[in-house]
Chain A
Amino acid sequence: DVKVTQSSRYLVKRTGEKVFLECVQDMDHENMFWYRQDPGLGLRLIYFSYDVKMKEKGDIPEGYSVSREKKERFSLILESASTNQTSMYLCATAIFGDEQYFGPGTRLTVT
C-alpha cells in the first residue's frame, strides 16, 4: 500500500512566522502535489513537482514556495505566514496520469 505521511496533523503558528510542511511518500512516485482545502472553495493546487528539483506553480502559489531535494520528500514553505493561510493542507503523490494518493492532511491555524 502507498503510504503518504505529513509532518503534523495540527499546527498553530503566529503571523509572520516561516512555516515548513513536509510530505514523505514510500512508493517512488514521480509526481507530488500540494493542495489546500477551504470550505466552499474545494481543493486548490498550490504547487506540484514531477521530478527531483523540479517544481511547477499551481493555481494559487502566491505566498508559498516548495522544495524537492529527494524523490520521496516534498516540502511546502510559507515564507511569512498570514491569517489567510489558515487552512487544511493536503499532500498527494501519483504515477503519471493515474490516481492520486493523499496524506492525512495538516490543519494549519495562523493567529
Chain B
Amino acid sequence: SQKIEQNSEALNIQEGKTATLTCNYTNYSPAYLQWYRQDPGRGPVFLLLIRENEKEKRKERLKVTFDTTLKQSLFHITASQPADSATYLCALDGPNSGYALNFGKGTSLLVTP
C-alpha cells in the first residue's frame, strides 16, 4: 500500500534561514503532490500543488520540488519567520480513492527569533 514519510522530529531553525522539509513516498506513482500548513486546533490550509511532469514550483517564499525518480518532494521556506511556525503536511492523490488524498503525518516547524 502507499506509504508517505515525513520527518517525525520537529525542525527548529533560526529566523531568516531556509527551512527544508522532506516528503518521501513508496509503492505508488502519484499524478500530483500537495503541501498544506496546519496550525494547532485548525484545519489544514493548502499551500502548493505540483504535478508529476513539473520539477519545481514557487509561490512567494515557498518552493516545492518533485523528483519522481527518487520518489521525493522537498518543501522550502526561504527567509523564514516565526509566523511560519506550524505543522506542514504533504499529500498525494491516492491510487484507489478517486480524488481523495493520502496525507503524511506532518513535520512540525519552529522558527525562533
> Which A residues contact B (CB, under 8 angstroms)?
4, 31, 33, 35, 40-43, 45, 48, 50, 56, 58-59, 90, 92, 94, 96-105, 107
Contacts of A103 in B (CB 8 A): 43
- Pick from B41, B100, B106: contact of A45, CB under 8 Å: B100
Contacts of B61 in A (CB 8 A): none
Report the contact-size class of chain B (Cβ under 8 Å from the partner).
20 to 34
Task: Give the interface SS of chain A, mostly helix, strand, loop or mixed.
Answer: strand
Contact A96 B106 (CB under 8 A): no
> How long is the Cα–Cα vector from A105 to B45 in the complex, in angstroms?
12
Task: Give the interface SS of chain B, mostly helix, strand, loop or mixed.
Answer: loop
Contacts of A59 in B (CB 8 A): 97
- Pick from A4, A48, A90, A99: contact of B34, CB under 8 Å: A99
> How long is the Cα–Cα vector from A98 to B34 in the complex, in angstroms?
9
Closest CB in chain B relative to A102 CB, distance in Å: 3
> How long is the Cα–Cα vector from A55 to B100 in the complex, in angstroms?
12
> How long is the Cα–Cα vector from A59 to B99 in the complex, in angstroms?
14
CB-CB contacts of B73-95 with A at 8 A, as 1s and 0s?
00000000000000001010110
Q: List 10 A-B contacts (CB under 8 A).
A: A40-B105, A42-B105, A43-B44, A45-B101, A50-B98, A59-B97, A99-B34, A99-B46, A100-B101, A105-B43
Contact B98 A58 (CB under 8 A): no
Closest CB in chain B relative to A23 CB, distance in Å: 11
> How long is the Cα–Cα vector from A98 to B50 in the complex, in angstroms?
10
